[in-house]
Amino acid sequence: MPFPLPDNATTASRYPPDLTLKHVQVIHRHGQRTPAHKYFGHIQPAGTWLRCHLAPQLAAFHSFADSLLGHSGSTDGSTNATAAALPNFAKIVFDDPKSTTAVTSTARSLASYPRDGRCIMGQLTDMGKGTMARAGANLRALYISRLKFLSDPDPTATDPTAAFHSNIYLRSTDYARTIESLQYLIHGLFPPGAPAAPPLTLHVRSTGSESLYPQHDCSELNRLSNEFRARMRETHAEETAAGLELVKHLGTDATSRAGLMQLHAIYDIAACMRGGNIAMPEGLGEKEFEELEKITTQQWIGLYENDERIQSLGIGRLLGDLKEKMMQVVEKDPEAVKMAVFSAHDTTIGPLLCALKAWDHQYPDFASMINLELFEEVPRAPSWQWPWASKPKPLETEICQPPKGNHYVRALYNGTPLVLPFCAAKGDHRASDASLCTLDAFMKRVDELVPKAYEKECQTEGGFVKFNWKY
């Protein structure tokens, strides 16, 4: 389970009464999907991906797609009983004005969705939708039922929509599988039977301005990535050859220089099958899967482990976005929200864990989740003092001002608190809990990685360098 619910004793220990939870950020990978490429289709028997019977409930995107693609009318293709119960993205906010004039990838994919249960390439499956709903239900159990951090929408409020959106911010990449994953997570967070969530506002950025995953329009990042994989191709030549030999019965070409790409393609198919409880291709067992995962993990996530320049160009802008949301709460900005949810990808979770120096050398599973929790510790005024102690007259600016508390940040990965090495020094974490970084220590690390001038830093001497997909 991507976000397991802690037991009552663990909850009490992690959330002591002298700390107030002020803000939560949820960054998650989408749920189980179909393979995201067209290679090795022959190892996927006909009918393998007849697993998308729950039609996409993205009416607002369908309407958007219709207007862009010249279709008359709009429909979300609803054919299942859960349609009316699902949250509705009634408003799509494009943070980048350019995206409103371009046909987004989501609009294009929605236009091609079958309505007979067949899945298309890279589509969120019915199992993936259920996984995200369960993750949302566990978030609800913790942050609403136990901690009373969030509350259900109040249908009696003068403006329930405004009240609800003052508590939650939703953002997704421009992929149908991430948007649907977010929708089902919110379905679990505010399920049928609870007061209905008002129509939701979803924030989406166009591909060119997206910060939730590394961009291939950054020439310098492409150069560094290409060099890393070229080195890996040389240093891991024996492992690559052994991997190709291990799965040669599936049709790999040991003479191709794109050996790593072949292994990744087969791993992606196997991971989708395994995640969907589908028997993997014949001759591909757990041993073979682990070998494929090991080499895929190194080439896609290991890239970010020890190179802070790659971390900065790849995921640094997202760190800046997370900092902005967090500091709005600290500074009591009117735009501050209690919870921000970011629906994204494996190439979000892995690099972000590397940036936090907390990567476990495992490939991020479907629905993997990072939670960042902001706490405030308000110091209590002493209840007594010696009778002869003098009481200094308070400054005028101090009168009626609440005491300023310390702020702490905790990161959790799939529900487990992370002890971040850059918060290990004395004074950089709460004395009673090493997983609680001081805000200053956490933001110092963030500031080290946020690009100061991203577009300039992406430039490469000698002209633009393309990302090499045939690695």
From start to end of 243-335, where are the E strands?
A: none
Instruction: Please report the pLDDT score of residue 32 as a whole number.
Output: 97
pLDDT of 453 above 80: yes
**Helix (H) / strand (E) containing 273:** helix 259-275
The reported pLDDT for the residue numbered 317 is 98
Choice among 63-77, 164-178, 357-371, 383-397 with the minimum mean pLDDT? 63-77
206-226: per-residue pLDDT in tens? 777 899 999 999 999 999 999
pLDDT for 70 beyond 60: no
Q: CA–CA separation, 351 vs 347, rounded Å? A: 6
Residues with Cβ within 8 Å of 337's Cβ and at least 6 positions away in sequence, in order, are 23, 165, 166, 167, 168, 169, 325, 328, 329
| pLDDT value of position 196 | 61
The chain-wide mean pLDDT, for the chain, equals 86
Mean per-residue pLDDT for 248-256? 93
Mean pLDDT is lowest, of 114-128, 383-397, 416-430, for: 383-397
Name the least confident of 75-84, 112-121, 255-264, 336-345.
75-84
Residue 81: its pLDDT value, please?
Answer: 33
Residue pointed to by tokens 């001081």: 438
- 386-405: average pLDDT: 51
- Evaluate if residue 99 carries a pLDDT over 60: no
Digit-coded pLDDT (tens) for 156-199 = 777 766 677 778 999 999 888 998 899 889 888 887 666 666 66
CA-wise closest residue to 374 among 439, 304, 464: 439
**Bigger pLDDT: 122 or 115?**
122
Provide the token pair at 388.
Answer: 């002869």
* SS3 category, 344: strand
Q: How many CB atoms lie within 10 A of CB 142?
A: 22
Beta-strand (E) ranges in 346-458?
369-377, 406-413, 416-417, 429-430, 433-438
What is the identity of the amino acid at 79? T
Of the listed ranges 235-239, 395-399, 449-453, the one predicted with least confidence: 395-399
pLDDT higher than 70, residue 293 = yes
**Range from 109-113, 188-192, 200-204, 453-457 carrying the lowest mean pLDDT:** 109-113
Q: What is the pLDDT, as a whole number, of residue 193?
A: 66
In this model, does residue 398 exceed pLDDT 60? no
Q: Of 60-64, 115-119, 316-320, which has the strongest mean pLDDT?
A: 316-320
Q: How far apart are CA 177 and CA 300, in angstroms?
A: 20
So what's the pLDDT on residue 427?
A: 96
Burial 170-182 (b: 16+ CB within 10 A, else e): bbbbbbbbbbbbb
- Confidence tier at 43 by pLDDT (50, 70, 90): very high
Share of the chain above pLDDT 70, in %: 79
CA distances from 334 to 149, 157, 185, 328, 338 (A): 18, 19, 26, 8, 12
Position 385 scores a pLDDT of 56
pLDDT given at position 419: 98
| pLDDT exceeds 70 at position 55 | no
pLDDT at 90 over 80: no
Please report, as a single letter, which amino acid is at residue 336. Answer: A
Band the pLDDT of 284: cuts 50, 70, 90: very high
Q: How confident is the model at residue 405 (pLDDT cuts 50, 70, 90)?
A: low
Band of residue 252 on the pLDDT scale cut at 50, 70, 90: very high
The answer to whether 460 and 227 are in contact (CB under 8 A) is no
For residues 362-385, one letter each, b for 16 or more C-beta atoms within 10 angstroms of the residue's C-beta and e for the rest, the string is ebbbbbbbbbbbbbbeeeeeeeee
Read off the pLDDT of residues 270-281 as tens digits, 9 standing for 90 and up: 999 999 999 999
Please report the sign of the dihedral spanned by the C-alpha atoms of residue 163, residue 164, residue 169, residue 170. Answer: negative
